[in-house]
Amino acid sequence: MKIQIKLIVLVLLAFTSFSILADSKSRVDKALLDASEKAKQPLIDSLRSYVEIESGSNDREGLLKIANLYEANLKSLGFKTERQASLVGTKADIVTGVIKGKGQLKLMLISHMDTVYPKGAIETQPYKILGNKIYGPGIADDKAGMAVIIHSLQILFKSGWNDFDSITVICNPDEEVGSIGSGGYIQSMAKNQDIVLSFEPSDDKKASGFRYAGVDPLILATSGAARVSLTVYGRGSHTGAAPENGRNALLELAHELLITRDLPKKNPGATLNWVQAISDGPQNQIPEKASAIGDIRIPRDGAELKLVEMIRETISKDRLVPDTSSEVTLIPRRPSYRADKRAMEVVAIARSIYQEINLHLAEVGTKENGDAIVGGGTDAGFASRSGAIVIEGLGLPGYGYHAKDEYVLSDAIVPRLYLATRLISILAKNGVPTKR
């Protein structure tokens, strides 16, 4: 009899839970959805204003211009702002805004203002709209993220919403070069937050061909990033009078780049791409020093250490030019990001929000054999080191990052605004997961 009663109770609980879940999926917040639709064109206007200010990571003047604009946007929403120079690099300004409310949630929203494009790229890759695609240098990565933050908050504040303890917005000027001057700051600020939402872009699935079903994805894991420096020391000598006395460091460097390029195949937890090479000295001298930089992405934490040891071992056993020596140095850049159990609970809420508007939210970067699938590194890595819950990929879906004809999908603007505003309001009302 007791067993039958327990079974009946379990069935009733299951039915009740299912009914609540089913009801929540169909309960659209019409006010937020209507506001998101009305905000679409203003967001597009903001996108244009951001894109037409060129702000490459080394363009201090452009970075200061866009920092001025973004700070003004935050002030118009009631934020108290401050500017501080990033620690290294161009030392352009990090923009931080803080606003206080009357609730419990401590929320941080992050994006970045720098791009990889050189000054003048806007002339050959102008802002333009073709069909449902909006083009421009850095438009997806990450000027759309900047815009989604501003217009999501504008929607919420216009409704009179203040159900939060504090909202902190950070926009940094050096993400594309590893957040070398702002990563520590982001990590320290995240320590005092309940949750951090990062507004990097996610891929347009049709263009990228990734295998996850869905309209738009969130990013659950990203690779760490590092650099490896390879320097070869040879012997200088006159190229005409006594070339035989020289020991050509450049030739040895070229040889070492070739024999190490496929090492990641034996160490699949890290990738390696040699991206820069240079030799010192005059053009009429056998080079006595040559160096190269390699970009390492780290799907599996710690794999970069093994890769560097493999590079050292390989070049020590196979030298082309005698009497030369080599030095290999690992330069850490950015930690990896993994969505933990708490973050996955928030992702489940986000997926239910998309279901409210009859869309499916995919998940990209799930781990296979402990590896992160997404190769790009983001500031979510720094934020997650703080212990806060971190969600990545809330910017606009697009494609062509760091390349010609970068774009975002205009069809995704309303769903993404609705996702951001609805998610923030739910987290403020119900709280965030606490168990790791």
Long-range contacts of 364-369 (CB under 8 A, 24+ apart): 364/202, 364/203, 364/210, 364/212, 364/217, 364/218, 364/219, 364/220, 364/393, 365/219, 365/220, 365/221, 365/222, 365/339, 365/392, 366/220, 366/221, 367/220, 367/221, 367/338
Residue that is last in its domain, among 334, 362, 386: 334
Indicate which CATH number applies to the domain containing 269: 3.30.70.360
Which domain range does residue 267 map to? Answer: 224-334
Catalytic residue among 114, 142, 200, 216: 114
Q: What are the distances in angstroms from CA 212 to CA 33, 215, 217, 339, 361?
A: 26, 9, 8, 17, 10
Query: Do 201 and 282 sit in the same domain of this protein?
Result: no
Catalytic residue among 175, 356, 363, 406: 175
239: closest CA among 192, 283, 182? Answer: 283
Indicate which CATH number applies to the domain containing 32: 3.40.630.10
Residue that is last in its domain, among 315, 334, 353: 334
Asked if the model's pLDDT at residue 1 lies above 50, the reply is no
Catalytic status, residue 45: no
C-alpha span between 125 and 123 (Å, rounded): 6
Read out DSSP for 326-338?
A: EEEEEEEEE--EE
SS3 353: helix
C-alpha span between 51 and 4 (Å, rounded): 65
- 127 pLDDT band, cuts 50/70/90, is very high
Of 19-33, 194-208, 347-361, highest mean pLDDT: 347-361
* First and final C-alpha spacing in the chain: 38
Query: Do 39 and 156 sit in the same domain of this protein?
Result: yes
210 or 392: whose pLDDT is higher? Answer: 392
- 14 within some domain: no
pLDDT tens, 259-274? Answer: 999 999 999 899 999 9
- 154 within some domain: yes
pTM tops 0.95, yes or no: no
353: closest CA among 107, 134, 151, 152? Answer: 152
Query: Do 341 and 228 sit in the same domain of this protein?
Result: no
Catalytic status, residue 175: yes
Asked if the model's pLDDT at residue 9 lies above 70, the reply is no
- 5 within some domain: no
pLDDT tens, 142-160? Answer: 999 999 999 999 999 999 9
pLDDT tens, 63-88? Answer: 999 999 999 999 999 999 999 999 88
Residue that is last in its domain, among 304, 334, 364: 334
- 358 within some domain: yes
- 362 pLDDT band, cuts 50/70/90, is confident
Give, as one character, the DSSP assignment of residue 371. Answer: B
